Chains A and B, each alone.
Chain A
Amino acid sequence: MTKFTTFESRLVPFPIDNLDTDQIIPARFLKTISKEGLGDQLFYDWRYDTEGRPKPDFVLNKPESRTAQILLAGDNFGCGSSREHAPWALLQYGFRAVISTSFADIFRGNSLKNSLLPIEVPRDVHAELFGNPNATVKVDLAAQTLTLPSGRAVEFPVDPFARHCLVEGIDELGYILQQEPAIASFEAAHPAPINTAA
């Protein structure tokens, strides 16, 4: 895993609450067996017309959004299904972080495993950002700070282990595999309740 480094970016404002993963990437695109090619399908049904042409007024189609790395979203972002295609699509579009007042649990976990940073901010900070949506902010994960356009740095919460993994480029599966002795001894002490192979 590549290390998550400090970066500055402008915001892509998307002031809608409860954006569900069916909007982030519609289910019909989940028939793929690959992780690739999902960036163009991000917010597909909002982003393209019935002929498949980009709608010029949709925020992700604006030229200034193409280089932005942070989505500024409404409350409870990423609710709904567990599809990891949602963070994959956001990353492949070019996002490295999403800012919201809250995130759905599974989306948050999926994002952190793919180096897409969910940044949870209080309501006043959220409102301040939406008040100045074309400005640039700075994300420093090691310090857990978001520097606002005003220059004020606000702290945001991140699970300490997830932060450690992202900043150091540590892969979680590798970490779990190192605990093989503990897993084996748990299994020895706890007979399995079922056997699907029987």
Chain B
Amino acid sequence: MKPRTIIEKIWDNHIVSERPGAPALLYIDLHLVHEVTSPQAFDGLRARGLKVRRPDLTIATTDHSTPTTPRSFPIVDKVAAAQVARLEANCQEFGIRCFGLSSEQQGIVHVIGPEQGMTQPGMTMVCGDSHTSTLGAFGALAFGIGTSQVEHVLATQCLLQSPSKTYQVRVDGALKPGITAKDIILSLIARIGIGGGTGCVFEYCGSAIRGLSMEERMTVCNMSIEAGARAGLVAPDDTTHQYVSGRPYAPTGAAWDAAVTGWRKLPTDDGAQFDKSINIDASTLEPMITFGTNPGMGIPITAMVPNPSDITDPLERDSLSKALRYMDLAPGKPLLGHPVDVVFIGSCTNARISDLRNAAKILKGRKVHSGVRVMVVPGSKQVKAQAQAEGLDQIFRDAGADWREAGCSMCIAMNGDQLQPGEYSVSTSNRNFEGRQGKGGRTFLASPLTAAASAITGVVTDVRTLLP
């Protein structure tokens, strides 16, 4: 048999039918649903008189429109409140388990699946959300879909799909202190650009990827979409198995042994061919930060902001000039030392427990710089509880940071958590598009370590100067 990549193996295992002249019909093992991209899909089901085919393969939560103020407060925004209520009503009507606002399992959709053990190697998983790529960390094919496809999956548990190209991202070598998974992925996107992965699924491999924890692998896979890729994954190994083992929805007993036997067959075969590939030497990486208005506009933190006059392609030059105008940054100058108004530590990229521990490591015993607003938003209620059990919330509060309830928060700024026009943030989230964190707001994307360091100094800071 021809050697196959893990991407091809998962694909082959999920083909329901292949008809001439049409894309393959692909079976979906887990469908995650949230309040923003689902209401119109449920309306579609009602209009056709359809049921949800597999409520037992579907899970919902509320995260995007969800306030991060104490849960005892009502949702002030009536439109958001109606959307959250609609999700709960739709789940009730169609028999779907919903980790709603009052549930102890509520959280960002890409955080709760893994912590519940629902996301397992070899699965196909979708959600009406582009950062579904996060779940590829488990050695699964996980990708974002639109609302029409949410309706297709609700009704049939299947999607019409054409195979993607395969793209090997090999990261070898050891990360230096202060350099994290976030810096790996920001560096990849800066190298290949935000359209560099279009039409592709990434497989991340190499010794640096093997050395990452599951949470760090999730950070890397999360931002695959920011390079334009449909999905990104890491082949399962003992790290993966150990993470899944013992979680509420993980298999147990003989079923566990059988599952692991299957998972061990998933990694890419020796000699399998990829359509594209890139190599990154992890030992050369520095903390990364973005300066512009898309995630590909990133630089090592000690580098200078690029100069449009160095670019020959006219549209590309205009894009950079436009980005620098929006960000009000001078070309050729360092970003280090640039004043910061807000620090946001949160999002599906960096709001798991290890991210909060990293931030706390820097903030412990220190004070947030006066005039800087720091928001720490855990990825889920479970992350929040764990952080509180470890006393991290006290470290954040003592430093002067705001410790909030779980949700997407200022990553997408739909819930009232937002930048004011002209404000600068260092954010651990995934997108720095114009207005993403609030109309007129300006975002520097970076790791939790860099964000915490900048919170202390009030300016963009190289965390390596503050490491214990």
Contacts A106-B144, A193-B29 given; indicate if A160 touches B21 (C-beta within 8 A): yes
With A and B bound together, what is the CA distance between A195 and B230 in angstroms?
Answer: 26
Question: Closest approach, in angstroms, between the C-beta of B134 and any C-beta of chain A?
Answer: 13
How many chain B residues sit at the interface, stated as a range, is 35 or more
Contact A22 B431, beta carbon cutoff 8 Å: yes
Give the contact stretch, choosing among B145-153, B268-276, B281-289.
Answer: B145-153
A134 touches B (CB below 8 Å):
no
- The complex places the Cα of A161 from the Cα of B21 at a distance, in Å, of 6
Given A27-B414, A31-B79, A81-B130, 15 additional A-B pairs, CB 8 A: A16-B318, A17-B318, A18-B195, A28-B413, A33-B39, A74-B319, A81-B431, A172-B148, A179-B16, A179-B158, A183-B53, A192-B29, A193-B122, A193-B123, A194-B30
Contact of A33 among B40, B55, B155 (CB under 8 A): B40
Query: Does the CB pair B130–A74 fall under 8 Å?
Result: no
Q: Does A110 contact B (CB under 8 A)?
A: yes
Other-chain contact of A183, B83, B120, B158, B315 (Cβ < 8 Å): B158
- A197 near B97 with CB under 8 A, answer yes
In the complex, which residue of chain B has the Cβ closest to the Cβ of A26? Answer: B435
B21 touches A164 (CB 8 A): yes
B316 and A110 form a contact (CB under 8 A):
no
The SS class assigned to the A binding surface is loop
- A side interface size, CB within 8 A: 57
A182 surroundings in chain B (CB, below 8 A): 16-17, 25
Residues of A within 8 Å of B413, CB to CB, are 27-28
Q: Does B114 contact A (CB under 8 A)?
A: no
CB pairs A–B below 8 angstroms (27 shown): A16-B315, A16-B319, A17-B316, A20-B431, A26-B435, A26-B439, A27-B413, A30-B64, A31-B65, A33-B40, A45-B435, A75-B195, A79-B294, A82-B144, A104-B198, A105-B198, A106-B145, A106-B230, A164-B21, A173-B155, A176-B158, A179-B156, A183-B53, A193-B122, A193-B259, A194-B57, A196-B97
What is the chain A residue whose CB lies nearest that of B320?
A: A17
Produce 1/0 per residue, A73-84, CB < 8 A to B.
011100111111
Task: Please report B residues at the A interface, Cβ cutoff 8 Å.
Answer: 16-17, 21-23, 25, 27, 29-30, 36-37, 39-40, 44, 48, 53-59, 64-65, 77, 79-80, 82-83, 86, 95, 97, 118, 120, 122-123, 128-130, 144-149, 151-152, 155-158, 160, 162, 194-195, 198-199, 225, 228, 230, 249, 251, 259, 294, 315-316, 318-319, 322, 412-414, 431, 433-436, 439
Asked whether A159 lies within 8 Å of B36 as measured between CB atoms, the reply is no
Asked if residues A31 and B83 are in contact (CB atoms below 8 Å), the reply is yes
- Complex-state Cα separation, A89 to B257, whole angstroms: 49
The answer to whether A22 and B414 touch across the interface, beta carbons within 8 angstroms, is: no
Interface residues of A in 46-76 (CB under 8 A from B): 74-76
How many Å lie between the Cα of A45 and that of B122 in the bound state? 41
**CB-nearest residue of chain A relative to B86?**
A33
Q: Assuming A22-B431, A110-B146, is B322 touching A195 (CB within 8 A)?
A: no
CB distance from B9 to the nearest CB of A (A): 14
Tell whether, in the assembled complex, residue A196 and residue B123 are in contact, meaning their CB atoms are under 8 Å apart.
no
Partner of A45, one of B36, B145, B439: B439
- Bound-state CA distance A177–B155 (Å) is 8
Contact A105 B86 (CB under 8 A): no
Tell whether A23 is near chain B: CB-to-CB under 8 Å: yes
Residues of A within 8 A of B129 (CB): 81-82
Looking at the assembled complex, report how far the CB atom of B183 sits from the nearest CB atom of chain A, in whole angstroms. 21
Complex alpha-carbon distance, A198 and B77, angstroms: 34
Contacting residue for B194 out of A76, A114, A161, A193, CB 8 A: A76
Q: Report chain A residues within 8 Å CB of B77.
A: 31
Cβ A80 vs Cβ B152 within 8 A: no
Query: Which residue from chain A places its CB closest to the CB of B127 in the assembled complex?
Result: A82
Query: CB distance A22 to B37 under 8 Å?
Result: no
Q: How far is the CA of A80 from the CA of B194 in the complex (A)?
A: 9
Chain B CB within 8 A of A109 CB: yes
